[in-house]
Amino acid sequence: MTDMCLDPLREEIGSAYVLTGEDTTPFSQDWSGQVRWTPLAVLRPADTAQVAAIVRLANATKTPIVPVSGNTGLAKGTSAEGALMLSLDRMNAIREVNPTRRTASVEAGVVLSNLHEAADQHDLIFPLTFGARGSAMIGGALSTNAGGSNVVRYGSTRGLCLGIEAVTPTGDVMNLMSALHKDNSGYDLRDLLIGAEGTLGVITAAVVKLFPKPRAYATAMVAVPSVNAALDLLYRLQSETGGAVEAFEYMPGAYIDAHLQRFPEARAPFETRHEVNILVEVGALADRDAVPGEDGQVPIVAHLEAVLMQLFETGAVLDAVVAKSDGQRAEMWARREAAAEVSRLHSPIVDNDIAVPTDKVQTLVERIHARTKALDPQAGILNVGHLGDGNLHFAAWPSTEDADLHREIGLAVEEETMALGGSFSAEHGIGLSKRPAMMRHKDPVALAVMRQIKSALDPNGIMNPGKVLPDL
């Protein structure tokens, strides 16, 4: 497709919304800056009908098309050299918040934090949350099946979605905007498109679940002797609170050190440095747990303090600080949500988004540390993770620019993860970055089925080509 062939698109969506040349610069690299490209054009449609028209033209001319939402991904999934980039940023309407059935109908360009605010007006929450919530959009979260900090209680994005609207690779509109919790009528095409990273179509809208807003939170930083001891703490707190633990985030001592180096104005969580630090948050729904008593204490906060004190007396907890104000809670969360910036403190960087069964996390940490140090004794190592669901973000800062060494470290981490029954991609998706890992580790029959699905739905191979599936 040449620039002249863009004229039908200009007529369809308006010349002001067909960006070319220097106007595409904001869309020409990913968040990390590790990959850059020059798109043929960036298209900013206003509605689903315009998306369908764009895709039909792209399919007819066999022009690659790459959907983009907030462009906050970490797997190079929006690389678009010579392709049409389809930005959904103008499709940002929250069509409906239905507090009776606790759902919201939203367009794909809705920024996550805006949905949070809309739900809050009805005393509800949309529980998907992570550091980039101020720019990440619902379409991207669905396309990557994003995880975040509250998976331990609410599940990942797939589990938060009831229905979708999508444009197929041939430009047809598929309306699956159901608010049903049960619908056993054929193949689950909703779940097929969620997590497909735009390779099977363009998600344009969704019906998502909302949940009661906790009446009170109990939030604490807790130091424990080991990762396994942290899991014991999680299970104890789940029992004590009736499953109300919303987040259980792992920050080892090296991460705290790096955070303080990156943000010198920040405070350490404890007076003494500890190797295993956990951010735990419990959300209380019932008045009996949330309404302050005559002594002014919030019951769920007092209960968390009491449990932690009992465990401190037995040595199962080494130290703990419970937030006494919204400011203290925000400070604890800011420490965890700065992980992406902290990991970029040094370069080069070899990073992984991996998951293992929760009881294997300590073994994984020990093995990948040992393998990394054996390959590069001077390498820096940074871990942070969602311990409640077994998701570890491992980063190594190699001591040299040797690309072969970087690759060996990445392979070693993959090998140890897979040996423990894990996954080389927990929540960031595949994009371009993890296609080699797909070839090395994904079941070959599963890969063959995926290719068959891709070929059947996208016969001309226009939708986000080169992503997710490795080359034969």
Report if residue 326 sits inside a domain.
Answer: yes
Residue 275 CB burial class (10 angstroms; 0-12, 13-18, ≥19):
middle
Is 29 among the domain residues?
Answer: yes
Q: Which of 164, 189, 212 finishes a domain?
A: 212
Residues 207 and 225 in one domain: no
Which residue segment(s) compose the domain that 245 sits in? 216-339
Res 3: pLDDT: 59
- Amino acid 2: pLDDT: 53
Taking alpha carbons only, the member of 433, 427, 356, 430 closest to residue 149 is: 427
Domain count of the fold of the chain: 4
> Which of 197, 212, 227 is the endpoint of a domain?
212
Torsion angle in degrees (nearest 10) through CA of 453, 28, 173, 132: 90
- Whether residue 15 lies inside any domain: the answer is yes
pTM of the model: 0.93
Asked if 376 and 330 sit in the same domain, the reply is: no
The confidence score (pLDDT) of residue 66 equals 97
CA gap 291, 284 in Å, rounded:
10
Please tell me the predicted confidence (pLDDT) of residue 468.
97
Q: Determine, yes or no, domain membership for 40.
A: yes
What pLDDT, on the 0 to 100 scale, is given for residue 4?
A: 55
- Coil, strand, or helix at residue 284? strand
The residue to which tokens 């949350």 are assigned: 129
Position 224 in a domain: yes
Q: Could you tell me the sign of the dihedral formed by the alpha carbons of 179, 185, 191, 197, in that order? A: negative
Alpha-carbon span 207 to 196, nearest angstrom: 18
CATH of residue 98: 3.30.465.10
Asked if 39 and 27 count as a contact pair (C-beta separation under 8 A), the reply is: yes
Please check whether residue 451 lies inside any domain of the structure. no
- 220 and 135, same structural domain? no
Report if residue 458 sits inside a domain.
no
**Rg from Cα positions in the chain:** 23
Last residue of a domain, one of 291, 315, 339: 339
Q: Are strands 84-87 and 41-43 parallel, antiparallel or unpaired?
A: parallel
Query: Running along the chain, 472 residues long, what does each successive block of 10 average in pLDDT?
Result: 76 96 92 86 98 97 94 86 96 98 98 98 96 93 94 96 98 97 95 97 98 97 98 97 96 97 96 97 95 91 97 97 96 95 91 96 97 97 95 96 97 97 95 94 96 97 96 84
Q: 171: closest CA among 202, 195, 150, 146?
A: 202
